[in-house]
Structure 1
Amino acid sequence: MIQHAVLQFITRFGYAGLFGSMMLGMIGLPLPDELLMTFAGYLVFKGEMLYGMTLLVSSLGAIFGVSFSYFAGKKLGLPLLEKYGNKLFLTPEKLMKSEKWFQRFGKIAVTIGFFIPGVRHFTALSAGINKWSYRTFLIYAIPGGIAWAVTFVTIGWYLGEKWNLYIENVHNYMLYIVAAVLALIVIWRILLKRKST
């Protein structure tokens, strides 16, 4: 089972295994990203990993992964992705779902997309296809990657030995998590506007 194999990989290779798994998961391989970070949080609970370092590695793995997807979208463009995307798990349906997210939420879709399975892998592709500058992409991707890592690593650390009993229920609360993240982003943007005036 791929889930067990990846958890064993992280246990064996520690931070390097976590970074590699997060990066590949963000590129689009079918890896259980939230489960990986929650398990890493459990390893923090056990004293096998450090909280701050785990957050840093998870965030960097996610940012490197979405950056790869961004450049793939920018260099290949939509026609090639539609033609060859199935070989990389990039179906036209998923790309269309990502486009709908962009139409609904604008650039902030890159930030909140981290919290939506089936969307986070494609918002970066869409940003690249739409020829965003890499700087603009990172402005929206970095807060999302950090918030995502903090959320699930902290859940794993907080739950401790019970991490695997509750992780299946996380998706039931994903809507609330996304709403909380959106509220924080709105507050952050309001504060930035007040500072600039």
Structure 2
Amino acid sequence: MFDFVTTLIETMGAFGVGVVMLLENLFPPIPSELVMPLAGFSAAQGQMSLAAVFIAGTVGAVLGAVFWYEVGRRLGHVRMQRFIARYGIWLTLDQDDYARAMGWFARHQRAATFYGRMIPGVRTLVSVPAGMAGMPLGQFLLYTTAGSGLWNAGLIASGYLLEANYHRVAEFLDPGTTIVIAIVIGIYLFRVGQHLLRRRKG
């Protein structure tokens, strides 16, 4: 993964940073915690403009988020409820869970969208309920851009300031991202098990 990201950024420059960040939002296994410190390091070496790196990375992240927002918008409540009725056990959701989750998001959609952009594994998924809840696109773009921009700025700054030691950022953050994703997967498997046991008892 590191070699792929490095090669793409070295070959395509700031545009490559945007492409990788777009892919990161479509396919979460590509971590921004690896991409943006590397881009910051490259900017510190004079290979790219710091502003170009920030803009390209943020635009890529936002475009990826808009894709999932549109998926949620097109899916809609009715289709989602039908999907839950058929496959809810694998989503670890029933209709009541779904109603509560959407109710919570409706009450906290701005904060959820903003802070969700800074949480590994969540930053991709949070765009789907935003689309389903009918969050205005302008509002979605505002909070997504703000959250993505803040997160990217911190990662770029870490790579820029540490320069030759930027890899220490990846060594720290990349395992942290893996742990968070592993916890999310563990919780998911636990909930699926609970639903299977509940169905068997029923």
TM-score (norm 1): 0.72
Structure 1 contact 82–92 (Cα < 8 Å) conserved: no
1:143 corresponds to which of 136, 143, 146: 146
Structure 1 contact 110–141 (Cα < 8 Å) conserved: yes
- Give the deviation of 1:106 after TM superposition: 3.8
Question: In the alignment, which residue of structure 2 is the partner of 1:186?
Answer: none
Whole-angstrom distance in 2 between the partners of 1:101 and 1:4 = 40
Question: In the alignment, which residue of structure 2 is the partner of 1:35?
Answer: 34
Question: Does 1:127 find its partner at 2:130?
Answer: yes
1:169 corresponds to which of 169, 172, 180: 172
Gaps of 5+ in 2: 84-89, 93-97, 178-202
Structure 2 contact 118–148 (Cα < 8 Å) conserved: no
How do residues 92-107 of structure 1 correspond to structure 2 at under 5 angstroms? 92=91, 102=105, 105-107=108-110
Structure 1 pair 44/78, CA: closer, same or farther in 2 (3 Å)? Answer: farther
Structure 1 contact 73–81 (Cα < 8 Å) conserved: no
Aligned amino acid, residue 39 of structure 2: A
How do residues 12-27 of structure 1 correspond to structure 2 at under 5 angstroms? 12-27=11-26
Whole-angstrom distance in 2 between the partners of 1:101 and 1:41 = 36
Whole-angstrom distance in 1 between the partners of 2:39 and 2:21 = 11
Structure 2 contact 117–148 (Cα < 8 Å) conserved: yes
Aligned amino acid, residue 76 of structure 2: G
Bigger Cα Rg: 2
> Percent of counterpart pairs with the same letter?
26
Question: In the alignment, which residue of structure 1 is the partner of 2:55?
Answer: 56
Whole-angstrom distance in 2 between the partners of 1:100 and 1:6 = 39
Structure 1 contact 45–158 (Cα < 8 Å) conserved: yes
User: Cα RMSD between the aligned structures?
Assistant: 3.2
Q: Indicate the larger mover: 12-21 or 36-45.
A: 12-21
Q: Deviations over 1:25-53 (max 9, x none)?
A: 11234201121011000101111011111
Structure 1 contact 37–153 (Cα < 8 Å) conserved: yes
- Give the deviation of 1:105 after TM superposition: 4.7
Structure 1 pair 78/9, CA: closer, same or farther in 2 (3 Å)? Answer: farther
SS of corresponding position for 1:47: coil
SS of corresponding position for 2:126: helix
Aligned amino acid, residue 65 of structure 1: G
Gaps of 5+ in 1: 85-90, 175-197
Q: Deviations over 1:2-40 (max 9, x none)?
A: 232122111111122111110111123420112101100
Structure 1 pair 27/83, CA: closer, same or farther in 2 (3 Å)? Answer: farther
Structure 1 pair 74/48, CA: closer, same or farther in 2 (3 Å)? Answer: same
TM-score (norm 2): 0.70
Structure 1 pair 133/7, CA: closer, same or farther in 2 (3 Å)? Answer: same
